[in-house]
Every structure is written in C-alpha cells, then in structure tokens.
Amino acid sequence: MGKRPVEKMPLSQRAKQFAPFDALKGFKEAIQDVNYQTELVDRIILSEDQLDQLDGVARSLNKGERITITYYHKGRYLKLSGIFSRIDDIEKVMVMAGEVFRLDDIIEIHRTEDPPIA
C-alpha cells in the first residue's frame, strides 16, 4: 500500500501559526504605563518677571500668526506649533490650531516663520 498524500495547509492558516503570542494579556500595556509614569516631571513655576514677559508676548500676537508654544499636560511638557486665534481673558485660555490651552499651563511662546516655498 502506498502512502496517502498529506493535505497541504492553506496559506491563510499557515501565517496564523507564526503569529506572536501574548501569554500575559495587558502586560505590555502595563509596562508602557509604568514607563510613562516614571517620565513625569513637576510643573515649572515661573517668576513674576517671566510671567510678565510671557504675558507681553501673548498680548502682542495677532490672529493668524504662526507660533510654537510649550505647555504642561498630564505631567509632561509638550510643544505645539500652529496658527494663533485668540486669548480669552475671562476663561484665561489661548486658542491655537483649533485647541484650547490654559494660560497657566503655557511656559513659552515663540513666533515661528513659515517654511520657504520650494
């Protein structure tokens, strides 16, 4: 009696046998969360002179200017560039790039030049 031919596994099934296996569900995310928490920084407290200087720059901005701000968000300092819209003195916020930032969270404001058109 001859050997019976072995049925070949379809290609779609072969790939599955080599897929990565996560033995501990959520472990990778937990490690990333711990790394995130260890990289947190304390909020910088600006002096009165620094606050006055920052306020002066903020008040001199014109709607439509391109700016970059450095702001505090959830334990980190982030930079964002965009188009300045306005400052709301009542709510104490700056509106830029369609987002709202608390003035207390902003530590730097810089005017940025548009890149040259090539």
Of 109, 91, 113, nearest to 100 (Cα)? Answer: 91
Strand order in the sheet with 66-73: 99-102, 93-96, 76-88, 66-73, 106-111
Instruction: Look at residue 36 in the predicted model and tell me its pLDDT.
Output: 58
Residue 54: is its pLDDT beyond 60?
yes
Q: Where are the domains of the chain?
A: 62-111
CA separation for the pair 34, 42 (Å, rounded): 17
Cα-based distances in Å from 72 to 44, 51, 63, 80, 87: 9, 15, 23, 11, 17
The first and second tokens of residue 38, run together, are 């260890």
Q: What is the pLDDT of residues 7-48, one digit of tens each?
A: 776 766 666 666 566 666 776 777 666 655 567 888 999 999
Contact between 85 and 96 under an 8 Å Cβ cutoff? The reply is yes
Instruction: Look at residue 117 in the predicted model and tell me its pLDDT.
Output: 46
Q: What is the mean pLDDT of the chain?
A: 82
Residue 118: is its pLDDT beyond 50?
no
Residue 1: is its pLDDT beyond 60?
no
Instruction: Look at residue 26 in the predicted model and tell me its pLDDT.
Output: 72
Residue 85: is its pLDDT beyond 50?
yes
When pLDDT is cut at 50, 70 and 90, the band that residue 62 belongs to is very high
62-111: CATH number:
2.30.30.520
